[in-house]
Amino acid sequence: MSLRLPNPPLRAPESETGAPAPAKRYGIAIVGNDKIIDWLLPFLESYRDTNSSLPIYLIPYDDNVAMTRKAAEIYGATYVEEEPVEIDKLSHELYPGIFNNNRRRLRKLQALALPLDEVAYVDVDVILFRDFTPVFGRLEAGEREFIVASPSFEYVYNDKRDKYPFLKDVLLFNDGFWVTSNKFLKLSDFIETMKADSAIFHDVRKRGQLFAQPLVNFVTHRRGLKIELLPNVVPGSSHESFYKAPGVTFRDGKPVDIDGKEIYFAHWAGAVALPSRGVFDPAWAEYSKAAWARFKK
């Protein structure tokens, strides 16, 4: 059972000498390329509208990035130039027979190597509706070390997970959004965990075009991170983000779930076409129109 605590302050506490402690570095990380520019641009426009006070880092999915680089410049995103050598090596080792385009989904792990004290990783088939500032400054060792928005019961493990006690009663989550710190989770943790337990991982992981999500779940579970849902961290927030969520309404232009709790973002996870007729789709279309107009100036 998770312990609910009063919300901690968003600024760092003062040091013992009375001098202010250094400000914490918070930021957002995304992965993109030109193939998904139709998703990337609306995401960045929604970021500009709701979260421009937070730095954003754009991790390239591959080398198809001419338009992606331009988008990063327009929206003030830091384009991550560093080659993800260790991540690509890990992806080849884990999925040797898989086409590169799928293996590169692991590049989201580069978010863990950014110069930030806390990072919010977000998939780009998303638009943001609210300021993410309240999400930061909530991590605490032994209490909340990895924050997620939504559970994912069907798309993480297969039935063999029951053989392994450390996977009993763990929270299975969608890895399209998470917040953590490299104090609690590093890229090296993925490498070391797979060296020790890749056989177990392959035994339990769900197949079917799932690559990063089972891995992120497995490593956080294997290492015993304290995982918490967003509604248990930010009062009044919703765990809902799925683009087909039932009962969504809008209040003051922002979405709320069926219980009236605040939805922070909409995620078109698994969508096979661009948004058109769903409850979140008019907002996506407006962001897309504005983004393309800005991009073509």
Tell me the pLDDT tens digit for each residue of 143-202.
Answer: 999 999 999 988 999 999 999 999 999 999 999 999 999 999 999 999 999 999 999 999
Q: Provide φ and ψ at 14, rounded to 5°.
A: -75, 155
For residue 162, give every residue at least 6 positions away whose Cβ sits within 8 Å of its Cβ, in sequence order, or none. Answer: 168
pLDDT bucket at 54, cuts 50 / 70 / 90: very high
Q: How many CB atoms lie within 10 A of CB 44?
A: 27
Distance CA 94, CA 254 (A): 41
Q: Provide φ and ψ at 205, rounded to 5°.
A: -70, 145
Tokens of 190: 């993925």
What domains are defined for the chain?
26-269+278-296 (3.90.550.10)
Q: Which residues pair with 245 in a beta bridge?
A: none
pLDDT in the model for residue 129: 98
Q: What does pTM read for this prediction?
A: 0.90
Mean residue pLDDT across the chain: 91
pLDDT in the model for residue 60: 96
